[in-house]
Amino acid sequence: MSALTLLDSLPYWYQLLVVGVLGAVMASFINVVAYRLHTNASLLGRSRCFSCGHQLSWYELVPFVSFLSLRGRCRVCQARIPLRDFIVELLGALLYIVVYVTFVDPITLFFSWVLVSVLLAISLYDLAHFIIPNELVLIVAAVGVAAYSYQNWPLALTDFSNGLLLVLVAAGFYAVLWKYSAGRWLGFGDVKLAAALALFLTLEEAFSMVVLSFWIGAVVGLLLVFLPVLLQRHVPTHRSLHMRSEIPFAPFIVAAFLVVYIYELSVFAFFVPWF
């Protein structure tokens, strides 16, 4: 009996609980990857407090429970544990549940879980370092090729040409902006990421991902600029951003992709009723 078959035999609420815990555990590990990748620290080394160096015990690493029971502070030195850790675990749990509810086919479900895990790592790393690691993009591309081949097997010549067209449509828009701005508006890593993600989408969905990523980026950018300005009235020392501030773009691409991929959203649906 496979793990998924065993899971299906359980009550539905219990299935969601198990999947959520799995997502939180994976997100906790992904958080470690985002912290340690391209540093001298081992990805498999024991976790420590960033302030006092205290080596964390297993009961200090339980997703959600440890953060809440410790009230967000180190047990030894009482330094604050980044709230980001708790938010990432919650996000991982929610993503795993949404994917589980959306995709019935076991292989597609597996591909999607791997995909959201890597995309979460890419987003966290880009937020912290303003760069997308090539090895993570390669993983997305490898999963994309496998998923595309699985969905279109046996592959015909037209499938190869359609796949190439998907990549060109998704990556082309970002490539033009990258070239025109000489890398000031977005990095080439964003171009490579979009190309890899296109393999999971249809042509219409790939175009929707591109458009939606700029919509999300515009909304978030305006909020980041104007909310601190409003907060300065109450917190004068609050540092505000301005229109030239650098903002990583990968999280916007990832967010747009997930909305389109999971909910099969088309931006044309926003305009068709008006014509």
Q: What is the mean pLDDT of each run of 10 residues along the chain (275 residues)?
A: 65 88 90 76 62 62 71 70 83 95 91 95 89 92 90 75 82 87 83 92 89 89 67 46 66 94 83 54
The 3-state secondary structure of 217-240 reads HHHHHHHHHHHHHHHCCCCCCCCC
Query: Distance between CA atoms of 125 and 133, rounded to whole angstroms?
Result: 8
- The confidence score (pLDDT) of residue 264 equals 85
CB atoms within 10 A of CB 141: 18
- The confidence score (pLDDT) of residue 238 equals 43
229, 239 contact by CB (below 8 A): no
Q: Give the C-alpha distances (Å, rounded to integers) separating 118 from 140, 143, 162, 217.
A: 7, 10, 25, 21
- The confidence score (pLDDT) of residue 260 equals 93
- The confidence score (pLDDT) of residue 272 equals 59
- The confidence score (pLDDT) of residue 91 equals 93
- The confidence score (pLDDT) of residue 137 equals 94
Maximum C-alpha span of the chain: 64
> Token match 């916007």: residue?
252
- The confidence score (pLDDT) of residue 56 equals 64
- The confidence score (pLDDT) of residue 227 equals 65
Burial of 233 (0-12, 13-18, 19+ CB in 10 A): exposed
H/E run at residue 30:
helix 12-36
128, 34 contact by CB (below 8 A): yes
- The confidence score (pLDDT) of residue 123 equals 93
- The confidence score (pLDDT) of residue 6 equals 66
- The confidence score (pLDDT) of residue 231 equals 46
- The confidence score (pLDDT) of residue 35 equals 77
CB atoms within 10 A of CB 9: 10
Phi/psi at 80 (5° precision): -70, 135
